[in-house]
Structure 1
Amino acid sequence: MISSNLFSLVSLVSVALAAADCIGINAIAPGCTSREALHSRDLFYVGGRYVAGAAGNLTYDQLYVEKLTPATGVKQSKPIVLFHGGGTSGVTWLNTPDNRKGFASHFLDYGYQVYIVDQTSVGRGSAEDLNDYVMRIGSTAEITEKGFTAPELTDAYPQSQQHTQWPGTGVRDDPIFDAFESTFIPLTSNLTVQELSMRSSGCQLLSLIGSSFLISHSIGALHPFLLSNDCPSLVAGNINLEPGNIPFQSYVGNATSSVGRTSARPWGMTNTRVTYDPPISNSSELTYELIGDDTSAKRSCYMQTGTIRKLPAIAKVKYVALTGSASPHITYEHCVIDFLHQAGVAAEWIKLADRDITGNGHFGYLEKNSAQIAGVVHDWILANC
C-alpha cells in the first residue's frame, strides 16, 4: 500500500512539473492543456486507382483527408480546405510548435467546416509507386533557420531585419525550433506525377464537399491553382499564404540569391498542362524573358513576351496572395502577381504590413500573430462569398 501511494505521489508530481513547462514537445505531458478548438474528427481517403502488381491490386494516388467539424456547429456557408507546403504535412495546420491555437482551430472558431489534406506521396498520402515518387529531404535545420525561423541572422535581404514574430530563438536546440523542425518529412522530387494525382483526387474531393475556399501555403499553392483550372466551379476562392514559387523558376530552399534560382514550372506556375488562350499544345510555345533589375530587396521575374496568352479557366476563380513583411517572399511575390495579371487573372496581393501585421516570416500562420493573419483570411472570405 505504501509503495502504491508513493507511486501515485511521484506520478502527480511529475505531471505537475510537466504542466509547469509545456514548451515544445513537453506539452505532450498529460498535465498540459490543449488550446485547440473543440471539434469532431473524421478521416477519409479520396480518389486513387487500382494498379495490378505481383502481390495483387494496389491502390495508388489516393488523397488523405481529415474532416474537422466545430463542436458549436457549422455557421459558414462554404467549407475551407487546407493545403500544406513542401516538407511538411497536414499536421502543420493543427497546434503551433509553441502550443498556441493552430490555424485550423481559428477557422473552427469562426464556424467553418475544415478539411485538411496530406498531399499524395506526403505523410499519410499515398506513395505506393516508389519509382514515380522518388523522395527528397523536407528541410535541414540550416535551411529552416535561414529561410523560415531566423532569416535576420543571415541577413540575405534587407527585409529580414524586420523579422520579430517567430516564437523562441528560431535556431537549433531551442525547444520551439526543435519541435518545428521535427515536423519536416521527405517529399517527392517528382512534382509532375504529384500534380497529376492531386488534380484528379482534388477535384473528386471538391465534387463530394461542394464549392470550397482553398487555403494553401508555399509550394502547396500549386494544387489549388491546378484545381482552379480543372474544376473552377467548385473553387469558391484561391487563398495563398506566400505561394511558392515564381514563374518558370524555383528558389531552392527558399534561397534569395540568384545562385538559388533554377528552371522549373514550364507551364508558368505549374509543371503540368494548364489551359491557355490562344491555346498551346506544348509548354515550349510559351515565350518569356527576365524583367527588372535583380536586387536582394526586389528580384527580377520572368514574364511572357510575344503573344501574351491568358489563363481563362483560372481567371474564373478569385485569387489572393498574403505575404509577410520579413519573409524572403516579400522580395519576389510580385513576380507571381505580375505574371497572373499579365495572364488575365485578377489576382489580389495583400501585404500584411499594409494591414498593420508586421514582422512575419514565411511561416506566418505559425508565428505569434497567427490569429491576426487568420482574421485577414476570414475577412477576405466574407467579402468574396
Structure 2
Amino acid sequence: MKKVNFSKSLCVVICILIALLQVTDIQAAPKERLNKTTATLEVGKTVTLKVLNTKKSISWSSKNVKIATVSGKGTVKGIKAGTTTVSAKFGKETLSCKITVKTDSTVLSISEQGIFSAGGITVTSDGTFNPENQWEDSGAGQTSHVDHANVFYQIPVNDTELPMVFLHGYGQSRMGWMTTPDGREGWSEMFLRKGHSVFLIDEPRRGEAGMTSVSGDISTKTLDQRWYTQFRIGRWENGKSVVNKGSQFPNSEASIDQFFRQMTPDTGMKSDMGGDFDNVTVAKAVAATIDEVYKRTGKNSILVTHSQGGGPGWTAAGYTDHIAAIIAIEPGGAPAADSDDYKAVTEKKIPVTFYFGDYIDNGDPTIQATGMWQAMRQSCYDFAKAYTAQGGNCTVVDLPKEGITGNDHFMFQDLNNGVIANHIENWIKKNVE
C-alpha cells in the first residue's frame, strides 16, 4: 500500500478552494446616488435630477427657490442668476446637488419695469373750482402738478449690482441712454446686462416731464449745426457732416438724421443756449428719484450725468444721502472748492470720476468749442486735485490717454460705446461699495 503525502493533499485542497472563490460572483448592493452632483443651467432652462439605485419615495427641495425651483419629479428650473442647492430626501438619507444658474448672454431678461414721477410741486390757483363751469379760462381753484422728473426703470433678472440713475444733458432726454443714432444697443441695456437696474430720468420740463411752473419759449431757430459743432463731432461743410479724423461717430446720413431728431426742447427755458436752466429744480427731482430708488431697492444709486446734467448732479448731493458714486460724462464743469456743492459731495465722501473724450487737446483751434472744452475739463482736474488732497476718491479719465480714441461729446452713442461701458464698470468694481 502506498503512503499518502499529506503536504501534497493539503495543497490540492487549498487550490480547489481558491478556484471556487474566484468563480463565485459576490457583489455588494449598489449605493444610492444622484445622477448629477453639480449642474449649471441658464435662466428659464431646466435640468432633471434622478436618484439612482432606489425605488424609495423621493422628496425634493431647493434651498433658495428665488434662484432655482425643483418639481416633485426632480426637474430643476433656473429662475435667477446665482447658486443654490437642491436636495433629494428618502428615508434617513439626503443627497444634494449644487445648482448654478446663469443668464443667457444673448438674451436680456427683465424682471420688472415701469414708469413713475419723482419730486415736483403742486401749484394751486386762488378761488373755487366750479365743476359746472369747467371751461372757464382763469383756472380758479384748480391745481397743476409740475416740475417733477419722469423716470423709466428696468430691473434685470440678474439684479446683482447697485442701481444706476442716468441724467441727460442740454436739449436731450433719456432716449440718448437707450439707443444710438444707428440703432445699436445703448448704455442702459449694456449696464442691465452687467447686473445693474437702470433708472432713466427725463428731467423737469423736458421730454415726458414737460409740465412746468414757469413759461418758456420753444425756439424755432435752425440750430442743428451749432450743437453738432459744440459736441466736437467735426466740421459741417457744404451741407455735410465731415467728422474728425478717426471719429467713432456713426456718420451715415440716416444716423445724422436720427441724431438731430433726438434733440428736444425745455418747456421752462427762454434761452436757446441754456442760460436760464433751473439747476436747483432739476437737482431736487434727481434727489427725489434717488430716494425713491432707495425706497424700492434698499440700495444707494450710482448717478451718471451728462453735460448740462452734471450741474444738478453735484447739487443733488445736498438733498439726498443715497448717492453711492457720481460718474460725470463730460460735464459742463465741476464745483469750485469753496462752493456748497463741493462741500456736499466731499462731506459725504462720494467717489467721483469724470470721463472726457477726444478732440480736446487735439481739437481744431479755429472752432470756439475747443477752448471751451479745455477750460471745462480743467475745472474737473482742479476738483479732483482738491478732493484727493483731502482724502476723497476722484479721478479724471482722459480716454485718449487710456488708448481709447475718436470719441466726441456723446461717447455713450459712439461706435465704441461698449468699450467705454466696460471701462466704467471696471471703475465701479474697484471704487464703489
TM range (shorter): 0.5 to 0.7
Partner of residue 313, structure 1:
344
SS in 1 for 2:326: strand
1:213 lines up with 2:302 in the alignment:
yes
CA contact under 8 A between 1:149 and 1:166: conserved in structure 2? Answer: no
Question: Would you say 1:370 and 2:417 are equivalent positions?
Answer: yes
1:226-241 paired onto structure 2 within 5 Å: 226-231=315-320, 233-241=321-329
Instruction: Choose from 61, 64, 82 the match for 2:150.
Output: 64
Tell me which residue corresponds to 1:150. 233
Indicate the residue corresponding to 1:90 in structure 2: 174
Give the Cα–Cα distance (whole angstroms) in 2 for the partners of residues 362 and 117 of structure 1: 19
Paired residue type of 2:359: A
Identity rate of aligned residues, in percent?
22
* 1:84/1:216 contact within 8 Å kept: yes
Count of aligned residue pairs for this structure pair = 281
Read off the aligned partner of 1:123 and give its amino acid letter.
Answer: G
- What is the Cα deviation at residue 148 of structure 1? 2.8
Deviations 1:297-336 (A, max 9, x none): xxxxxxxxxxxxxx33211211110011225476231222
Q: TM-score, normalised by structure 1?
A: 0.66
Q: Does 1:118 align with 2:202?
A: yes
Q: Map 1:286-301 onto structure 2 (within 5 A).
A: none
DSSP-derived class of the 2:359 partner: coil
Matched, 1:164 2:247: yes
Q: Secondary structure at the match of 2:159?
A: coil
- Which deviations, in whole Å up to 9, do the C-alpha atoms of 1:178-225 show, x marking residues without a partner? 011001111234766732222322222222222100011111111211
Q: CA deviation at 1:41?
A: 2.5
- The change in CA–CA distance for 1:162 and 1:324 in structure 2 (over 3 A counts) is farther
State the one-letter code of the partner of 2:385.
Answer: H
1:179 aligns with 2:222: no
Distance 1:366 1:137, change over 3 A: farther
- Distance between the aligned counterparts of 1:42 and 1:137, measured in 2? 33
- Asked if 2 retains the 8 angstrom alpha-carbon contact of 1:237 and 1:319, the reply is yes
| 1:138/1:185 contact within 8 Å kept | no
Cα deviation, 1:235-259, whole Å, max 9, x if unaligned, reads 1101011111477xxxxxxxxxxxx
Question: Aligned match of 1:44 in 112, 116, 135?
Answer: 116
| Match of residue 394 from structure 2 | 347
The alpha carbon displacement at 1:355 in A equals: 2.2
What is the aligned partner in structure 1 of residue 185 from structure 2?
101
Write the deviation string for residues 40-98 of structure 1: whole angstroms up to 9, x where unpaired: 4200011222111342011121110111122x33121x200000010010111111110
Q: Following the alignment from structure 1 to structure 2, what is the Cα–Cα distance between the partners of residues 208 and 226?
A: 17
Mean Cα displacement is larger for which, 324-333 or 104-113?
A: 324-333
Alpha-carbon separation, structure 1, partners of 2:113 and 2:220: 30
- Give the match's secondary structure for 1:229: coil
Q: How far, CA to CA, are the matches of 1:138 and 1:377 in structure 2? A: 37
Cα distance, 1:149–1:192 mapped onto 2, change above 3 Å: closer
Looking at structure 1, the residues matched to 306 and 403 of structure 2 have their Cα atoms a distance apart, in angstroms, of: 21
1:373 maps to amino acid = I
For 1:138 and 1:216, the matched residues in 2 are separated by 27
Tell me, what secondary structure is at the counterpart of 1:205?
helix
- Are the aligned partners of 1:84 and 1:118 in contact in 2 as well (CA < 8 Å)? yes
2:381 partner letter: I
The structure with the larger Rg is 2
Q: Does structure 2 retain, via aligned residues, the 8 Å contact 1:137–1:185?
A: no
CA contact (8 A) 2:333 2:379 kept: no
Alpha-carbon RMSD: 2.9
User: CA offsets per residue over residues 140-185 of structure 1, 9 Å max, x none?
Assistant: 221233233632568xxxxx8544101125xxxx110001100111
Change (3 A) 1:192 1:146: closer
* CA distance in structure 2 between the aligned counterparts of 1:331 and 1:358, rounded to whole angstroms: 17
Q: Distance in 1 between matches of 2:306 and 2:353?
A: 12
Q: Structure 2: which 5+ residue stretches go unaligned?
A: 1-105, 126-137, 238-242, 295-299, 361-369
Provide the C-alpha distance between the structure 1 equivalents of 2:258 and 2:423, rounded to a whole number of angstroms. Answer: 27
One-letter amino acid matched to 2:318: N
Relative distance call for 1:217 and 1:245 in structure 2 (3 A) is: same
Asked if the contact 1:239–1:320 (Cα under 8 Å) also holds between the matched residues in 2, the reply is yes
CA distance in 1, matches of 2:221, 2:325: 28
State how far apart, in whole Å, the 2-side matches of 1:113 and 1:135 are: 34
The one-letter amino acid paired with 2:158 is G
* CA offsets 1:114-144 (integer angstroms, 9 cap, x no match): 000001011111433233x455579822123
Q: Distance in 2 between matches of 1:88 and 1:163?
A: 25
Tell me the TM-score normalised to structure 2 length: 0.59
- Considering Cα pairs closer than 8 Å and 6+ residues apart, tell me whether 1 or 2 has the greater RCO: 1
Q: Please list the CA deviations of residues 262-293 of structure 1 after superposition, one character each: whole Å capped at 9, or x if unmatched.
A: xxxxxx59xxx9527xxxxxxxxxxxxxxxxx
1:184 & 1:138 partners in 2: Cα distance?
13
Preserved CA contact (<8 Å) 1:87 1:138: no
The alpha-carbon distance between structure 1 residues 36 and 123, as it changes in their structure 2 partners (threshold 3 A), is farther
Equivalent residue, structure 2, for 1:201: 285
Pick closer, same or farther for the CA change 1:128–1:103 going to 2, 3 Å: same
The equivalent residue for 1:326 is: 359
CA distance in 2, matches of 1:182, 1:64: 20
Q: Is the 2:123–2:146 Cα contact (8 Å) retained in structure 1?
A: yes
Cα distance in 2, alignment partners of residues 138 and 212 from structure 1: 38
